[in-house]
Homo-oligomer: A and B are copies of this chain.
């Protein structure tokens, strides 16, 4: 049984009266977490005024009265930098907000009229919505709990495709000289671990997602601590596990295994215990278009990363997660972001491609009876859809301004409705252009299907 602190007790009471909801937003680096959360807060604050939220019944029916930012309950969690994000969008020219690092939080108090009582008159209610934003990379560390150091080393070999081997070159060269039975030299292990972390960072820069351990990418206050100075030893597959286990305490193998275990216990578990198990709803953002643009190795890598990430939502009774932390997320959304970067008739394909990408994990989730919805959206729409008529033929196009400031009219290509095959990659049929945000006209940010996401995530609480 968990112990309840007074605040948690109060939260429980509010939850009992259906008045509190903890909604978490995650996604791999560059999936658009900051834009999503900024837009979500912006839409709810402008609900009942300029915001277009027709797919959210409470808004459509005029029952959503607005939202205020109020004090967040967790004083040690950084506040989500909403004002800074809006300032970036309001800059001239507008820019995308800076990405957040680590976890952040913001609490909204939403005022609405319940559906039934609208007959009776002016009764209003409040819903406390706690919003959390955290790196999807942290979820990639969950599968790490299922491993001991040896099995983790073996499985990490699979991540090394030819492109990633190239990015890991320095590390591969450094780790070659080291044997599991060598006496551990602290400085040398630190050097090799730093090469490993640099390889992971380079892979992320190059668009890869399946990167473990996740904290190596954002070490924060743990920079330079031995707990972040391990790496998978190559060449263990031919070795006898018993012999490895019998190596002396000061051997390279045992030292790295100790650090791996410390990482599991003091880095991975605390996130699930202190944050994750308290979330009620979750949305996972996925940059499908970016991966599509980056080629087959990175697309396969995204697929692997998403499968790993989705394990955090598989609450089958026998899952590792349920045994360890008893999480309670009761509704999940998975969204392909940046839908405004393709023409509207491609949106349906974008959603089915996302579903294809997640086919295996979605099966598991449905089997485990976790309600999940896949959709495509644009948190902050940066383009306008137009049609171009040339020689009697009509072609849908996007009008927008590139990051470099050039006004442009383009057709980025077709999104395949299922997992792309070799023929697709051979055609190189997709040409993704990044756009800067539109200059802001009204108070509410333009979007695509943010209201559908909101309806799925919080709509039932606004009845």
**Per-residue interface assignment for chain A, residues 200 to 221, with 1 indicating a CB less than 8 Å from any chain B CB and 0 otherwise:** 0000000000000000000011
Report yes or no: A222 in contact with B78, Cβ–Cβ below 8 A: yes
Q: Do A187 and B83 form a contact, CB below 8 Å, given A76-B222, A224-B104, A262-B76?
A: yes
A345 and B39 CA atoms in complex are apart in Å by 68
Name the segment of A64-72, A239-247, A385-393 touching the other chain: A64-72
A147 within 8 A of B: no
A266 contacts across to B, CB distance below 8 A = 75-76
Report yes or no: A224 in contact with B76, Cβ–Cβ below 8 A: no
Q: Do A78 and B223 form a contact, CB below 8 Å, given A71-B255, A255-B71?
A: yes
288-302 of chain A: CB within 8 A of chain B: none
A119 within 8 A of B: no
A409 within 8 A of B: no
37-92 of chain A: CB within 8 A of chain B: 69-72, 75-79, 81, 83
Number of copies: 2
Instruction: Kindly identify which residue among B78, B83, B223, B250 contacts A225, using a CB–CB cutoff of 8 Å.
Output: B78
A227 within 8 A of B: yes
Main secondary structure of the interface of A (DSSP, over half): mixed
Instruction: Kindly identify which residue among B81, B187, B220, B258 contacts A224, using a CB–CB cutoff of 8 Å.
Output: B81
**Per-residue interface assignment for chain A, residues 119 to 160, with 1 indicating a CB less than 8 Å from any chain B CB and 0 otherwise:** 000000000000000000000000000000000000000000
A234 within 8 A of B: no
Report yes or no: B71 in contact with A226, Cβ–Cβ below 8 A: yes
Report yes or no: B79 in contact with A186, Cβ–Cβ below 8 A: yes
A72 contacts across to B, CB distance below 8 A = 186, 226
363-398 of chain A: CB within 8 A of chain B: none
Question: What residue of chain B has the Cβ atom nearest to residue A186's Cβ?
Answer: B71
A223 contacts across to B, CB distance below 8 A = 78
CB distance from A394 to the nearest CB of B (A): 48
A190 within 8 A of B: yes
A residues sitting closer than 8 Å to B (CB atoms) are 69-72, 75-79, 81, 83, 102, 104, 184, 186-187, 190, 220-227, 250, 255, 258-259, 262, 266
- Interface pairs (15), CB distance under 8 Å: A70-B186, A71-B186, A71-B250, A72-B186, A75-B225, A75-B258, A76-B222, A76-B227, A76-B266, A78-B224, A79-B186, A81-B224, A83-B187, A102-B221, A220-B220
